[in-house]
Structure 1
Amino acid sequence: MFHWRAGILPGVSAAFTNNGAGNLALHVGDDPEAVRQRRSRLEQEIGVGAGSLRFMNQVHGTDVVLMDSVSPAPEADAMVSRGTPLAVMVADCIPVILAGASADGPVLAVAHAGRPGVAHGVIPAAVERMASLGATDIRAWLGPSICGRCYEVPGAMQEEVVAAVPATRSTTSWGTPGLDLPAGARSQLENAGVMVEYSGPCTLETPSQYSYRRDRHTGRFAGLVWCHD
């Protein structure tokens, strides 16, 4: 069910699911009831209340929404909370988990960082929102995502993204223009003073992870962060 799972701060855990957890997205043509059942099993597995895990309707933007236990699913690409469990879904984009401490307890965040999100700054926006809630010593965990050796893009698109985030420039393993989104994310986090504690493997090269580049009809796996006793 999990590609990776760990306690990341006192009383806080994070995980990235794999194909064993099944598709967790409602927007890919899967049976909605089957998706809800998978989400429910996931909540049971990580020990959070039924229906408490908050998901987003992701749109490749930069909006960051503050969530609590009754917040509906927002149209956004990053969420922040003071302990409400959060989820981000991907299948090549970077699932970013962030956590920090504040005087009022842990501050949690997730971000959906694909090409537009990295280029337009969804990760720095999430860090800034966390800091506005008093979060300090913010750390990041980057889940499985497509790597710079595998993510081919047209030359003009490469130059557009590289102009915004120079660290994204890459060349694919077959010699064409590429984008290294994880490198770009790490550079943005470093500039924001955030330490990256973990970076996952390439989704395209890892059969146990969903990859849109491998299969356009694929499901979505999730990055999760939650509080526990």
Structure 2
Amino acid sequence: MSLRLRDRIEGDLVIEVAFTGASLDVGDRAPADVRRAALDAVAVETGALPVVMHQVHGATVSVTSGDDGPAPTCDALVTTTPGVALLARAADCVPVLLADPVAGVVAAVHSGRPGLAAGVVPAAVERVRALGAADLVAWVGPHVCGSCYEVPAAMRDEVAALVPESRSETSWGTPALDLGAGVRAQLAGAGVRDVRDVGGCTRETPDLPSYRRDGDAATRFAGVIWMVAP
């Protein structure tokens, strides 16, 4: 199996989520044949059409039906179409998945440091609610932890001024950011009560890609969410 850490919820539609590991490279820097093979594997295991974003560390949200042509430039992707698998790719950033199985709407969100500061997660929550979502479930995927994500003190202060919960310190005593804590705080502030933390620090987990650990050699994994008929 190429998909791991799976979960499933049921309503009028069945919604499934999973995360890929180091065995699949879905990153933009991957050779075209490697990336295509990875997306084909996701298609086989989900039975759905994989859709990726051209991620730019912003707060733009796009809605897709899966047949919209080239990957949209955004950091949150939303669909109401069953049979479409949305991917949020990461190598230390936080992949966040959102779902309401009764309303039949799901989203995949890429929240790195700039996206956290820009509020991409609250923007995605607002968009799915505009499409009818009410009782949302959120999954917070693996990401670099607050004890490992060292940043300059000025950068920490800048982000923490916007999202105080993100302020952290590394295990070796230097300024850091806790992106996961920041995302969870934003979800709580947006009224999302059912938040499922998948766990796992990418830098400390050998079978997950990490830019902080591996630099330019890092591949990309993804959080994947899709809807199927019950």
- 1:193-229 CA-to-partner distances (Å, cap 9, x unmatched) read 1121233210001001000001112110010000123
Q: Do 2:57 and 2:112's aligned partners in 1 also have CA atoms closer than 8 Å?
A: yes
Alignment pair present for 1:15 and 2:18 = yes
Q: Tell me if the contact between 2:42 and 2:50 (Cα under 8 Å) persists in the aligned partners.
A: no
Identity %: 46
Aligned counterparts of 2:200 and 2:34: Cα–Cα separation in 1 = 28
2:202 maps to which residue?
203
- Unpaired runs of 5+ residues, structure 2, are none
Counterpart CA distance in 2 for 1:155 and 1:209 is: 27
Please list the CA deviations of residues 51-92 of structure 1 after superposition, one character each: whole Å capped at 9, or x if unmatched. x21100000000000110212310000011103321111000
Match of 1:178 among 176, 179, 200: 176
Corresponding residue of 1:66? 63
Cα distance in structure 2, aligned partners of 1:175 and 1:57: 35
RMSD: 1.2
Question: Does the aligned pair in 2 maintain the 1:101–1:136 contact within 8 Å?
Answer: no
In 2, the alpha carbon distance for the partners of 1:80 and 1:91 equals 21
How many pairs does the alignment contain?
221
Q: Any unmatched runs of 5+ in structure 1?
A: none
Whether 1:214 aligns to 2:216 is no
Contact 2:51-2:85 at 8 Å conserved across structures: yes
Q: Distance in 2 between matches of 1:19 and 1:201?
A: 14
SS in 1 for 2:211: coil
1:101 positional shift: 4.0
> With structure 1 as the length reference, what TM-score do the two structures score?
0.93
The letter of the residue matching 2:53 is: M
Q: Contact 1:96–1:140 (CA<8 Å) still a contact in 2? A: yes
Amino acid in the other structure paired with 1:203:
T
Shift of 1:35: 1.2
Q: What TM-score results when the alignment is normalised by the length of structure 2?
A: 0.93
Secondary structure of 1:167's aligned partner: helix
Runs of 4+ with deviation above 2 angstroms? none
What is residue 53 of structure 1 aligned with on the other side? Answer: 50
Confirm or deny that 1:88 pairs with 2:91: no
Deviation at 1:184, TM superposition (A): 0.4
Show CA shifts across 1:29-61 (max 9, x none).
x3202210221111101122xxx2110000000
Check whether the contact 1:17–1:223 (CA below 8 A) recurs between aligned residues: yes
